[in-house]
């Protein structure tokens, strides 16, 4: 019950005031202000008399291209395909249902997914078998798969196994572990004293079998069209190399160089190493090849790639980084006419280019060297 002269639910409106009748819409509260009034609007409304709906979609509250629907003191986000949540921030994971077959990798994308198929499978969900698998050592290998076999690389090609053909040499072993590190039928034998390149080589051995045949290291060349052998002498900065390094360790790293992979897929490659009898920082390397065709010269390709690798200090190899000098002896390549051929040997920009004339069986020598700081000596090349 309001006192005389006042009305309203809280007795705050004077009779005959500007708030009678209530000019404020949508539940707004009228407040007398002298002979005028002010409307206090409910949430979601604005304007002098609360007739304007507040735009709840400003600023835009929906993410990822969602559409905002404005209501009376509310809004709703209608999300684009692939998104969810009250403000469309959640990216729906289409990979959650594991749609990819045969162990394929599912990559979630916007409003979809992508399957990364394992070798031998194809299709949107990798459900299609694209080639015959290979069977080796009791295991099934999918078509297209690659794997390492000692120093060689193999691949399954529609049921056929194709491997590079590098002779891998004896496997290193530790004497205190006995024969457990060697293949069946082989024994861990201590290395000869002269095979220790960076001393000490305590407890280091190699796996050998009495039935193993010696590797083909003799250089026999076709005197007319191509050669099948090169002799390379590497001189090393031994202070840059780890103790316990044997001659065979160095040879094994040469056999595992990536530059041999393509060449050894076509030809059988043999690399054998011997310590120098005249200098304790030198190793003699013999590289020979079999299955040579008239249109191929793999030995030249290999030696050129090795020289390029050393000159650029490429290959992420500590062995290559320690090379101080390379000397190459290679049988000359003679053309069918018997005339001399002029061969340009490329080096890096830091090195000059030499023209090496090769004619018949005469070996002419050219020397290229590079000046480098004493802390990182560069290699020199001798032909």
DSSP of 152-215 = EEEEEETTEEEE--B---PPEEEGGGTTTTSPTT-EEEEPPGGGEEES--TTEEEEE-TTPPPP
**pLDDT score recorded for residue 77:** 94
Strand 245-246 and strand 268-275: the pairing is unpaired
Q: Are 52 and 46 in contact (CB under 8 A)?
A: yes
DSSP 8-class letter at 216? -
Q: How far from each other are the two terminal CA atoms of the chain, in whole angstroms?
A: 119
Q: Phi first, then psi: give them for residue 300, nearest 5 degrees.
A: -60, -40
Short-list 123, 121, 117, CA closest to 132: 121
Cα–Cα dist 94/106, whole Å: 9
What distances in angstroms separate CA 283 from CA 127, 210, 212, 286, one per listed residue? 53, 26, 24, 10
Q: Which pLDDT tens digits describe the chain residue by residue (383 residues)? A: 787 667 777 877 666 677 878 889 988 888 887 778 889 998 888 888 898 888 888 888 999 999 999 887 788 999 999 999 999 999 999 999 999 998 899 999 989 999 999 877 888 999 887 788 888 888 888 888 899 998 999 999 888 999 999 999 999 999 988 778 888 888 999 999 999 999 999 999 999 887 755 555 455 333 333 357 888 899 999 999 999 999 999 999 999 888 888 787 888 899 999 999 889 999 999 988 887 666 667 888 888 888 888 887 765 678 888 999 988 876 554 444 433 333 333 333 333 333 233 333 333 333 333 333 344 445 554 54
What are residue 109's phi and psi, to 5 degrees? Answer: -130, 175
Using CA atoms, how far residue 171 sits from 26, 167, 255, in Å, is 90, 11, 12
Is the CATH number of domain 6-53 1.10.390.10?
no
* Residue 69, beta-bridge partner list: 76
**What are the Cα distances from residue 370, in Å, to 11, 234, 235, 349?**
103, 16, 15, 10
Give the containing element (helix H, strand E) for 4. none
Q: What does DSSP say about strands 29-33 and 36-40: parallel, antiparallel, or unpaired?
A: antiparallel
CA 290 – CA 306 distance, rounded (Å): 19
Q: How far apart are CA 322 and CA 241, in angstroms?
A: 7
Residue pair 286/255 in contact (Cβ under 8 Å)? The answer is no
Residue 295: the pLDDT is 67
382 vs 341: CA distance, rounded Å: 19
Q: What is the per-residue pLDDT for 319?
A: 86
* Euclidean distance between CA atoms 144 and 130, whole angstroms: 9
The pair of structure tokens assigned to 290 is: 């079999």
Sign, Cα dihedral of 99, 101, 103, 105: negative
The Cα 159–Cα 155 span in angstroms is 10
Domain boundaries, the chain: 6-53, 133-163, 173-208, 229-382
Contact 111, 84 (CB under 8 A): no
Please state, in angstroms and rounded to a whole number, the distance separating the CA atoms of residues 182 and 196. Answer: 20
Beta strands at 282-290 and 121-122: parallel, antiparallel or unpaired: unpaired
Token pair 């990559």 is found at 107
């Amino acid at each position: 019950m309001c006192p005389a002269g006042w009305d309203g639910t809280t007795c705050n409106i004077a009779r005959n005031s500007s708030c009678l009748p209530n000019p404020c819409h949508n539940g707004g509260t009228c407040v007398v202000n002298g002979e005028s009034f002010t409307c206090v609007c409910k949430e979601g409304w604005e304007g002098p008399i609360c007739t304007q709906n507040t735009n709840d979609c400003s600023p835009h509250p929906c993410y990822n291209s969602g559409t905002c629907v404005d209501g009376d003191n509310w809004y709703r986000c209608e999300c684009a395909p692939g998104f969810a949540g009250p403000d469309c921030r959640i990216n729906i994971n289409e990979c959650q249902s594991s749609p990819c077959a045969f162990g394929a990798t599912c990559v979630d994308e916007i409003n979809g997914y992508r399957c990364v198929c394992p070798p031998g499978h194809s299709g949107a969900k990798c459900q299609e078998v694209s080639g015959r698998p290979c069977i080796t050592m009791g295991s099934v290998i999918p078509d297209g798969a690659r794997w390492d076999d000692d120093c060689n690389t193999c691949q399954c090609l529609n049921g056929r196994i194709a491997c590079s053909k590098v002779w891998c040499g004896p496997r290193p072993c530790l004497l205190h572990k006995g024969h457990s590190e060697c293949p069946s039928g082989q024994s861990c034998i201590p290395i000869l004293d002269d095979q220790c390149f960076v001393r000490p080589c305590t407890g280091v051995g190699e796996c050998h079998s009495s039935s193993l045949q010696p590797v083909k290291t003799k250089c026999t060349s076709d005197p007319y069209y191509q050669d099948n052998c090169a002799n390379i002498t590497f001189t090393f900065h031994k202070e840059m190399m780890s103790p316990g390094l044997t001659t065979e360790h160095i040879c094994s790293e040469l056999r595992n160089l990536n530059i041999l992979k393509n060449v050894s897929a076509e030809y059988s490659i043999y690399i054998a190493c011997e310590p120098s009898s005249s200098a304790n920082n030198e190793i003699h390397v013999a590289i020979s090849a079999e299955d040579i065709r008239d249109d191929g010269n793999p030995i030249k390709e290999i030696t050129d790639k090795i020289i390029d690798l050393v000159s650029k200090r490429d290959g992420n190899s500590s062995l290559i980084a320690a090379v101080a000098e390379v000397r190459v002896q290679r049988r000359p390549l003679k053309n069918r006419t018997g005339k001399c051929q002029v061969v340009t040997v490329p080096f890096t920009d830091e090195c000059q280019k030499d023209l090496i004339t090769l004619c018949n069986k005469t070996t002419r020598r050219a020397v290229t060297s590079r000046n480098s700081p004493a802390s990182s000596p560069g290699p020199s090349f001798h032909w």
